[in-house]
Structure 1
């Protein structure tokens, strides 16, 4: 059944492929690029985006959990898929069955994988893992070098577990002063030396996200680190893949920043129009009160769709190529716009919440700034009841 509610998000094929090409170009083919499509591709629809990227040359995809990975495997049967949040009881069998690469760091992760491999009668080094090192994020990863040595000792030549990759996660790669990433790289360097001393030779060493592709000094350091261990460097960009550059990145990459194209446009239509007189209110709790004769337009989008309630009385939308303010509270399923200054506005007019119209633009950064958050949350928050439509 085709959706009839006039709320939708357009996902630009050309924008996504443009951004992928730029990221590949930024690393000069001296590193592999993992397309991070976790959280439903940051709200862009992973099962729609991933096949496009795979056809463009993406070999690796990063997802949050086994459930996301299994859904992705159905549309990308030959891709390598990294499960980035570890595994839990009952998931090891699915990891093996669907040829997934789990990101591991806890001893029980090894227990689960070893038990599943034994039950399936798998031979030595048949289950590939990517071992995460905690270099300062204090979230995931092996924290101490003693613990690292103990885990590596479990990966003997007879073990079903193969250390295919070693990775870490930077806490602030876009911040250069003070450069906390350098201290994390130093700790990662020591951890990789421990891995090598224990006789393990990972195929991939990976660290860094979108920001790393924009910071030449970090990228060059990581390349040399991978070369030292005869491994291939891999980066894991997410935000830039969907068209937004990390803030506070060096001006030397401004040209690349400008070439990134936002992939998602969020649109709706005006479904009702009315006029109120000066002094009348609109919306819950009468937080909007007209100072003049005012034309109000209703759009069928609310916080249940992902339009943050903090945009009440301060957000905006595009109507007929002009920005118009949100009038009153954002409701669960509806929002009111003040379109008094838009002549000849009509029911059915297209409204842009994120995207371009008539030379004006509203970005996920704009919504993030207005609500005190980050663009990742803005796009991830767009509810699944808003259909994603591939365009161009």
Structure 2
């Protein structure tokens, strides 16, 4: 395979397909009524896809809101030129509230201590989203605290209630909707209290799974993360909707062959000699390892694609190298392009496949790809 111009000089890189991203955006946008806002989640380095380039791309496609984990991510995105409203989904230190307000970055507030600390910090005009815990037992005020929360908020005139939201714990399984419905019911109680006070914040509850499975919970805004990247939030959602939604993975992880050698039967490959070869074997050494995000649990199990052939990882995954069996792969030489994750012609190695082999998830697999690896938006 011939390397593209942008990848020359790189031992490993990620390619992000902007056409596929645009396709996914349109597929998901069509699920929403025109008045419902589309929040693109770019937190955690855009799930490994590259924070800045991804945020700029989804804004250009029409995303109404950008969701980050930390206020520092928000600062980076804003400084890169993103003009869309930004919401910090995670915890923010009070010391950063003033700069957040100056840069039109809304903060999640999920407990009384945080609400009071931010309100009394001297900040003015700060947009906040109150988050309620409707059943996940993670971040958020309890539903039975809604009256007290709103009373506390209304004491302060330096804060703007831009939004109110919750997060579903189990919307990933369409066959068991009861838990999510209970969370929706809990959230409705909060919304009733807000309505009594004449407040009209942006209401949002659904991430990718909830948006696909529970259209009645779209409210005023939906938060799309993994689905926008073309990965399914769960196998259950995929099985139920794969024929209805044409989501396409946008990420391909590539490397090159660094060395080729043939070793005799009886040789042992890698640290601790755990891979005993039963035949004379042609090996390719690839210059990536667990430092780059190729999980050590893929030792002896992972597959890569070389010239249309799925080659197995032999022995242990090292920090910066893996060895693969290319005995049956044609025309492999130093410099040959290798696909670690993604497609090459009709052959693929999917994030779900590698996640299954490593007892992980597609979320974790792509998010843990080393942020120092070059991302090429093509």
TM-score (norm 1): 0.90
Cα distance, 1:3–1:350 mapped onto 2, change above 3 Å: closer
Cα displacement (A) at 1:172: 1.0
Q: Contact 1:214–1:250 (CA<8 Å) still a contact in 2?
A: no
Cα displacement (A) at 1:156: 2.3
Cα distance, 1:159–1:294 mapped onto 2, change above 3 Å: same
Cα displacement (A) at 1:15: 1.4
Indicate the residue corresponding to 1:14 in structure 2. 19
Q: Per-residue CA shift, 1:247-274, capped at 9, x if unaligned?
A: 21276632344x2111110000001011
1:303 is paired with a residue whose SS is coil
Indicate the residue corresponding to 1:230 in structure 2. none
1:67 is paired with a residue whose SS is helix
Indicate the residue corresponding to 2:170 in structure 1. 172
Indicate the residue corresponding to 2:207 in structure 1. 209
Distance 1:19 1:269 in 2: 29
Cα displacement (A) at 1:81: 0.5
2:305 is paired with a residue whose SS is strand
Cα displacement (A) at 1:30: 4.5
Residue 219 of structure 1: which of 199, 215, 230 is its match?
Answer: 215
Q: Per-residue CA shift, 1:128-171, capped at 9, x if unaligned?
A: 211101000000010142x3222211222752122221100000
Distance 2:194 2:81 in 1: 31
- Cα RMSD, aligned residues only: 1.8
Cα displacement (A) at 1:90: 1.1
Distance 1:168 1:76 in 2: 29
Residue 87 of structure 1: which of 84, 88, 92 is its match?
Answer: 92
* Counterpart mapping for 1:1-392 below 5 A: 4-116=9-121, 118=122, 122=124, 126-145=125-144, 147-156=145-154, 159-179=157-177, 180-197=179-196, 199-215=197-213, 218-220=214-216, 222-223=217-218, 226=219, 233-246=220-233, 247-249=235-237, 253-257=241-245, 259-391=246-378
Cα distance, 1:38–1:185 mapped onto 2, change above 3 Å: same
Q: Contact 1:22–1:256 (CA<8 Å) still a contact in 2?
A: no
Unpaired runs of 5+ in structure 2?
1-6
Distance 1:249 1:163 in 2: 33
Distance 2:181 2:67 in 1: 24
Q: Contact 2:262–2:281 (CA<8 Å) still a contact in 1?
A: yes
TM-score (norm 2): 0.94
Unpaired runs of 5+ in structure 1?
227-232
Which portions of structure 1, spanning 4 or more consecutive aligned residues, are displaced by more than 4 angstroms?
A: none
Q: Contact 1:134–1:140 (CA<8 Å) still a contact in 2?
A: yes
1:305 is paired with a residue whose SS is coil
Cα displacement (A) at 1:364: 0.9
Q: Per-residue CA shift, 1:270-297, capped at 9, x if unaligned?
A: 0101111010111001011110000010
Distance 2:195 2:43 in 1: 30
Q: Contact 2:134–2:187 (CA<8 Å) still a contact in 1?
A: yes
Aligned residues: 371
Q: Contact 1:15–1:262 (CA<8 Å) still a contact in 2?
A: yes
Q: Contact 1:322–1:358 (CA<8 Å) still a contact in 2?
A: no
Distance 2:138 2:9 in 1: 43
2:21 is paired with a residue whose SS is helix
